[in-house]
């Protein structure tokens, strides 16, 4: 299983909208993942501006990808939105709408989850240890 590690840098006060998931990282190199587009307010930015990215290049199959977020990301929304396979482990708190519309895979949050987590989940596992 390919492991991709995201370590948050100093996060802005304005929440980020980042649909980080194994599905969206499939077949991408570490350099491509750093350039993955996210939103800060009404402006498109790159993931690498806000996270150090390390680990393995992603597999073609989302089921073979594990994303580890090493730190609190309580101002980052939509982590795991719509994911169908693979795994996300968040070693800290996560922002709103984590796991929304999830269809498969697993999300483990070792901290707390903000409002509206796992909204309209259709499958997979969503665990908050908080």
pLDDT value of position 63: 97
Question: pTM of the prediction?
Answer: 0.97
Angular region, 82: left φ>0, alpha ψ -120 to 50, beta rest: left
Give kind and range of the element (H or E) at residue 67. strand 65-69
pLDDT value of position 11: 86
pLDDT value of position 82: 97
Q: List the chain domain ranges.
A: 2-128
In angstroms, the CA 103 to CA 54 distance is 26
Mean pLDDT by 10 residues, the chain (130 residues): 96 95 97 98 97 94 97 97 98 98 98 96 96
Phi, psi of 17 (to 5 degrees): -110, 110
pLDDT value of position 99: 98
Instruction: Give one DSSP letter per residue of 78-124, joined into a string.
Output: -TTTT--SSEEEESS-B-TTTTTT--SSEEEESS-B-TTTTTT--SS
Structural tokens at position 79: 């982590």
């Amino acid at each position: 299983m390919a492991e991709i590690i995201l370590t948050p840098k100093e996060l802005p006060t304005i929440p980020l909208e980042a649909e980080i998931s194994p599905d969206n990282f499939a077949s991408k190199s570490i350099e491509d993942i750093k350039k993955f587009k996210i939103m800060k307010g009404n402006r498109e930015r790159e993931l690498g501006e806000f996270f150090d990215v390390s680990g393995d290049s992603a597999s073609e199959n989302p089921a073979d990808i594990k994303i580890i977020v090493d730190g609190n990301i309580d101002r980052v929304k939509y982590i795991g939105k719509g994911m169908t396979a693979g795994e996300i482990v968040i070693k800290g708190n996560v922002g709103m709408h984590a796991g929304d519309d999830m269809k498969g895979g697993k999300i483990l949050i070792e901290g707390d989850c903000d409002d509206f987590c796992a909204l309209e989940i259709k499958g997979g596992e969503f665990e908050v240890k908080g």
